[in-house]
Amino acid sequence: MKANVTVTLKRGVLDPQGKAIGHALEGLGFDGIGEVRQGKLIEVELDETDRAAAEKKLDEMCRKLLANTVIEDYRIEIVA
């Protein structure tokens, strides 16, 4: 089983990198740009056939290591 874990900064946590990306896009002439926030994508392959069990395992991984829940949110998506 394969999963994508997306980790992003929580709403309300200032994201200076996202802001800089937004400014750069405006500098390139793209107009109508609202807030830009950046995060990271972690692809995980799992030796697991049960979807619920996989999601549970991934959730634990996120809380223990993949995300720092003080400032980050995470989203788990089983893709294959």
Is 65 a residue that touches other proteins (CB under 8 A)?
Answer: yes
Give the residue with the Cβ less far from other proteins, 54 or 66: 66
User: What is 7-42 written as a DSSP string?
Assistant: EEEPTTS--HHHHHHHHHHHHTT--S------EEEE
Strands (E), 18-79: 39-45, 72-78
Question: Considering only residues 2, 20, 30, 53, which one is a binding residue for other proteins as defined by CB under 8 A?
Answer: 20
Q: Minimum CB separation from other proteins for residue 79, in Å?
A: 21
Give the residue with the Cβ less far from other proteins, 51 or 68: 68
Is 64 a residue that touches other proteins (CB under 8 A)?
Answer: yes
Is 11 a residue that touches other proteins (CB under 8 A)?
Answer: no
Spatial distance between the Cα atoms of 18 and 39, rounded to a whole number of angstroms: 9
